[in-house]
A and B are shown apart, each in its own frame.
Chain A
Amino acid sequence: AQSVTQLGSHVSVSEGALVLLRCNYSSSVPPYLFWYVQYPNQGLQLLLKYTSAATLVKGINGFEAEFKKSETSFHLTKPSAHMSDAAEYFCAVSSNSGGGADGLTFGKGTHLIIQP
Chain B
Amino acid sequence: SQTIHQWPATLVQPVGSPLSLECTVEGTSNPNLYWYRQAAGRGLQLLFYSVGIGQISSEVPQNLSASRPQDRQFILSSKKLLLSDSGFYLCAWSVVGYNEQFFGPGTRLTVL
Q: Do A and B bind each other?
A: yes
Pick out which of these stretches binds chain A: B12-20, B40-48, B62-70, B76-84.
Answer: B40-48
B100 vs chain A, min Cβ distance (A): 6
A103 with B90: in contact, given A94-B99, A96-B99 (CB under 8 Å)?
Answer: no
Q: A101-B32, A103-B34, A108-B42 are in contact. Are A43 and B51 (CB under 8 A)?
A: no
User: Residues of A within 8 Å of B, CB-based: how many?
Assistant: 27
The answer to whether residues A43 and B105 also contact, given A108-B41, A108-B42 and a CB cut-off of 8 A, is yes
Q: Output the nearest chain A residue to B105 by Cβ-Cβ distance.
A: A43
Q: Which of B36, B43, B100 contacts A103 (CB 8 A)?
A: B36
A 69-81 to B, binary, CB cutoff 8 A, 1 in contact else 0: 0000000000000
Question: What residues of chain A lie closer than 8 Å to B42, measured between beta carbons?
Answer: 108
The answer to the question of A116 belonging to the interface, with a C-beta cut-off of 8 Å to chain B, is no
Range of interface residues on B (Cβ < 8 Å): 20 to 34
Q: For B108, give its contact among A41, A45, A51, A105 (CB under 8 Å).
A: A41
CB atoms of B101 and A104 under 8 A apart = yes
A100 to B36, CA, bound (A): 17
**A29: Cβ under 8 A from any B Cβ:** no
Q: Which residues of A contact B32 (CB under 8 A)?
A: 101
Flag A102-114 by CB within 8 Å of B: 1 or 0 each: 1111111100000
Provide the residues of chain A in CB contact with B96, threshold 8 Å.
99, 101
Distance A50 CA – B96 CA, assembled complex (angstroms)? 18
The 8 A CB mask of B90-110 against A (1 = contact, 0 = none) is 101010111111111110100
Which residues of chain B (30-63) have a CB below 8 Å from chain A?
32, 34, 36, 41-44, 46, 49-51, 57, 59
Partner of B51, one of A98, A101, A104: A101
Inter-subunit contact B49/A102 (CB<8 Å): yes
A contact set with B: CB distance below 8 Å: 9, 32, 34, 36, 41-46, 49, 51, 90, 94, 96, 98-109
